[in-house]
Structure 1
Amino acid sequence: MTLTGEAQYLDLLQRVWRTGVARGDRTGTGTRALFGEMLKFDLSDGTVPLLTTKRVFWKSAIRELIWFLNGESNIRPLVEQGVHIWTDWPLDAYRKASGEAISRDEFEARIMADADFAARWGELGPVYGVQWRRWPRFAANEDGSYRADTPFDQLAALVDGLKRNPNSRRHIFTGWNVPYLDQMALPPCHMTYQYFVADGRLSGILYQRSCDLGLGFPFNIFEAAVLIRMLAQQCGLEPGMLTWMGADCHVYENHEHLVTEQLRRSTRPLPRLDFARQPADLFSYALEDFVITGYDPHPHIAAPVAV
């Protein structure tokens, strides 16, 4: 029997926990992992893969996606909207640099109150949005040397390409900019996206080099689906299939309670996504433009983030 929808994710979660190889990791937490997995989600009926076996805070996910699309690299715009998912990395850096035992709430309050502090300690480096919207570009001088040129907007080029040449095999954008990886608070996990147009439908593949199945995947897969829907709307297309390709698929050892509880629960119908309007372009969406209906999840399961 071929599994579909959320059931295939639960199957992967179970297989990783039961049969995954034990591995060390940069956080020192420890994981169980499998390498090279694939899941497929049909978006053509208007549903989106927003997990139901635990509540996913989809508004935070939408806000994060818009933050990416705006080319942001500082946590302040997220913190101002009550989104905390990126705070742990700069907070950890500040604690190590200052020796101050500051709480997350205190740190975020300082980020919001002090623009200079936010500029210094809320910065994540050239993470996702920077690479998506401002990929560094260089131009050749007459003497053969190179100079910095206007950054390249991968997403604007993607939309233009989908409209002008839908049959192209180059509808790709990525965040994996090798020389800049060590300047990022966290190198891209959901790193490369590719799109395919056929019969008036837009399908997409997300290649994810590293996936925290407990905490990261629910946001990653939902945002990938939403982005397909946004691109389809902007390009006059209908949604097709979302294919997720995971390389290092892992569960942290301290997430046993999450895995046990989530696998105990039964799936419910996936919710539907509609748009309240069609914005002028891909970069003009607001949270209010996304209408999620029929979302009836089981309760949220809290688990620690490995930094």
Structure 2
Amino acid sequence: MRHPEYQYLDLMQQVLTSGDQRVDRTGVGTRSVFGAMTRFDLSKGEAPILTTKRVYWKTAIKEMLWFLTGNTNIQPLLRENVRIWSDWPLASYRRETGEEISQQDFEDRIVADDAFAARWGDLGPVYGKQWRRWLAPDGREIDQIGGLIETLRTNPSSRRMLFHAWNVGELGTMALPPCHMVYQFHVTSDGRLNMLFFQRSADLLLGVPFNWVGASSLLLMIAQQAGLTPGDLVWTAGDVHLYLNHLDQAREQLSRAPRPMPKMRLIRHAASIDDYRIEDFEVTDYDPHAIIRADVAV
């Protein structure tokens, strides 16, 4: 059987060799293909944590746990040593104040100064706000995650088990519109929970590996809360791209052979979806190639 990671490597090769080269929002430029799908079976404990480079899986899971809190400020992320969301508020701060503050100094101020964090650390109504506190026309806040888990428990054959973050009315106030924007769930007759998520914009080198880890952790958590076993993780994407300053790194990754996929499991049964901590996740048998460094396009 072919190693599941070749789904990623084949897609990367496709983007490199036949991607349409174009100018993008960031000004960096990309090579892009439109439309992709991958599928990973999580039922035996394996998780799509790439082995052809090291992926910091704890960082990805901490981000997912932050989404689930409904929080939209980077302060709790930085206190967990997660810096992947700093670029956007930092760019906003520099643009509005004219101060050429370093990223380290900016992050230190966010962590130490609650007032500064409240003013400059908030990303607007991004993922967590939409997932847990979607604002209804009558003023109610709708918890999409809580509603999903209740439906999984009571009506698992429903075809309406999904949540999403593409709130058209609030896109303009988000630091970054949602990339992985809709998640749909499916329960098999033998109690396996399948999850499909759609990503409108997929940064193949840096973003997608994190998205797969975060989604895997989400599938494990929701399956546990619904009394189901994890099944297939299906990823679909629209614009799949490599930034032009990532091409050499992509070629380096393609030169490496995949190693056995690691396993991920929950070592504690949390009381609710709000009760999970990073310490609840165990990843074993992870022996990746070395990290591949690249700059984020903002």
1:13 to partner: Cα distance? 0.6
Q: Structure 1, residues 218-257: CA drift from partner, whole Å, max 9, x if none?
A: 0111111111111111111111111111100000000022
Which residue does the alignment assign to 2:204?
Answer: 213
What root-mean-square deviation, in Å, do the aligned CA atoms of Structure 1 and Structure 2 show? 0.9
- From 165, 175, 185, the counterpart of 1:175: 165
Provide the secondary structure at the position in 2 that maps to 1:25: coil
Which residue does the alignment assign to 2:77?
Answer: 78
**Counterpart mapping for 1:283-302 below 5 A:** 283-302=274-293
Alignment partner of 1:203 is 2:194:
yes
- From 198, 221, 226, the counterpart of 2:217: 226
Q: Structure 1, residues 120-160: CA drift from partner, whole Å, max 9, x if none?
A: 00010000000000000122xxxxxxxxx220000000000
The aligned amino acid for 1:89 is W
- From 153, 156, 167, the counterpart of 1:163: 153
Which residue does the alignment assign to 2:54?
Answer: 55
Alignment partner of 1:114 is 2:113:
yes
**Counterpart mapping for 1:36-55 below 5 A:** 36-55=35-54
CA contact (8 A) 1:73 1:129 kept: yes
Q: Give the distance between the partners of 2:88 and 2:78, measured in 1 at CA.
A: 13
Q: Give the distance between the partners of 1:283 and 1:174, measured in 2 at CA.
A: 18
Query: With structure 2 as the length reference, what TM-score do the two structures score?
Result: 0.98
Greater CA deviation, 2-11 or 78-87? 2-11
Q: Structure 1, residues 263-289: CA drift from partner, whole Å, max 9, x if none?
A: 011101111112121000111100100
1:83 to partner: Cα distance? 0.6
CA contact (8 A) 1:29 1:306 kept: yes
1:4 to partner: Cα distance? 5.1
C-alpha distance 228-107 of structure 1, shift in aligned 2 (>3 A):
same
Q: Give the distance between the partners of 1:225 and 1:3, measured in 2 at CA.
A: 21
The aligned amino acid for 2:118 is A
Q: Give the distance between the partners of 1:100 and 1:111, measured in 2 at CA.
A: 15
CA contact (8 A) 2:204 2:241 kept: yes
Q: Give the distance between the partners of 1:9 and 1:195, measured in 2 at CA.
A: 22
**Counterpart mapping for 1:8-27 below 5 A:** 8-27=7-26
Provide the secondary structure at the position in 1 that maps to 2:5: helix
C-alpha distance 37-3 of structure 1, shift in aligned 2 (>3 A):
farther
The aligned amino acid for 1:231 is I
Which residue does the alignment assign to 1:268?
Answer: 259
Misfit runs of 4+, over 3 Å = none
Provide the secondary structure at the position in 2 that maps to 1:138: coil
The aligned amino acid for 2:135 is P
Q: Structure 1, residues 180-212: CA drift from partner, whole Å, max 9, x if none?
A: 011000000000000000021000101110000
The aligned amino acid for 2:21 is A
Provide the secondary structure at the position in 1 that maps to 2:295: coil
CA contact (8 A) 1:4 1:41 kept: no
Q: Give the distance between the partners of 2:24 and 2:30, measured in 1 at CA.
A: 7
The aligned amino acid for 2:80 is Q
Structure 2 residue runs without a partner (length 5+): none
Q: Give the distance between the partners of 2:238 and 2:4, measured in 1 at CA.
A: 20
1:299 to partner: Cα distance? 0.9
Which residue does the alignment assign to 1:280?
Answer: 271
1:81 to partner: Cα distance? 1.0
1:3 to partner: Cα distance? 5.2
* % same residue: 54
Query: With structure 1 as the length reference, what TM-score do the two structures score?
Result: 0.95
Structure 1 residue runs without a partner (length 5+): 140-148
* Count of residue correspondences: 297
